[in-house]
Homo-oligomer: A and B are copies of this chain.
């Protein structure tokens, strides 16, 4: 019993991702693209600004007209609506430079007397002027392929008049399995939390809301039927539960039979019982039924496969280095995902691994403010006092 062959995480990622090609791309309006991953490189379609503009409130003049001006011999110009030699035109910030002018004198630097303006120093061409294309040049990249679209990207699309953009929008089908499972709103039994965790993970991470297909009983036909139908319509098909090697572990067997390429068992704890593979470019995943194990599998294996296959550039996560309060054991050749509490004392950061280690123990995530992935470099453990890297998922607390 138990999974006899555990595949290193890196191997699983590298063997599966090249085959995961199916991905839905959706065209959305620019303002709905926030927090989605761009499916294309978007370039500027015009120079911005398209014409020279004033960057402050003042008078647009021709620099030759104020050449030689000084405190002691100011030059007087007429204030006009249009430029001709000897005329200064009032401009607000952002206004295009009037024809014939090439520089802007700040309003604070001049003296206005009736219909005239006195200039007390000379200004070179281009003073307080935003040049054509100073912000964006036509053809320049605004959003690279695979970039997570942030508010400034939306603003850049708007400024260029680009009102649609293609985003990565994987169609994901999720179903729970297990005779003992009930829905959260139902009566007696073990409440389904893992499939909902999976749905929430994708909603948060990629903005695609998975399609939830309910709870399947431990019945080979029912599970096979779900997976086959889902493979037709979705890019990613996920079940929770039934991923190990017992009699009731049906999902993993069903998917294995359907797969072109399949791996079962990963050197990850919690999260060993993972089945993952592809059929016709679509990703099939048999996750653990236990929430912490499933999250670990999503974070460390599934999400990296999606990112690598579709070249998504995820923004950096918050990380700190902190000293271990107690020894952290690492099983050789095994990746460990530890839930920890990071605390601060006299400017030093300390990290305390939570002792709740069950793969179903949700409170270990709720009570933690950090996650440590250990064993990546073949470590066999860390001693108290060793410094390790922690991904922060909550604020650092004072040490007790």
Contacts and interface: CB of A to CB of B under 8 A. Distances in A.
Contacts of A203: 34-35
Given A1-B107, A135-B361, A358-B130, A31 B199 contact: yes
A92 B290 CA distance: 13
Contacts of A184: 30, 157-163
B197 A152 contact: yes
Interface stretch (A20-28, A313-321, A375-383): A313-321
Given A151-B295, A190-B94, A392-B316, A34 B366 contact: no
Contacts of A95: 180
A17 to B, nearest CB: 19
A185 interface: yes
A140 B362 CA distance: 13
A154 interface: yes
B193 A158 contact: yes
A395 B316 contact: yes
Interface size class of A (residues with CB under 8 A): 35 or more
Interface in A137-171: 140, 142-143, 150-163
A2 interface: yes
Contacts of A317: 318
A98 interface: no
B55 A358 contact: yes
Nearest to A207: B35
A311 interface: no
A63 interface: no
B136 A363 contact: yes
Given A130-B360, A315-B392, A392-B316, A158 B196 contact: yes
B366 A156 contact: yes
Interface in A292-351: 292, 295, 313, 315-319
A394 B212 CA distance: 32
A99 interface: no
B313 A395 contact: yes
B155 A196 contact: yes
A134 interface: yes
Nearest to A246: B57
A289 interface: yes
Contacts of A190: 94
Contacts of A153: 366
A180 B49 CA distance: 14
Nearest to A162: B184
B191 A152 contact: no
A62 interface: no
Contacts of A211: none
Given A94-B190, A154-B197, A291 B159 contact: yes
A261 B224 CA distance: 64
Contacts of A316: 318, 392, 394-396
A15 B302 CA distance: 47
Given A94-B180, A152-B291, A295-B151, A362 B159 contact: yes
A273 to B, nearest CB: 10
Given A35-B204, A135-B361, A156-B193, 9 more contacts: A48-B362, A135-B360, A150-B204, A156-B362, A158-B192, A158-B197, A159-B184, A316-B394, A316-B396
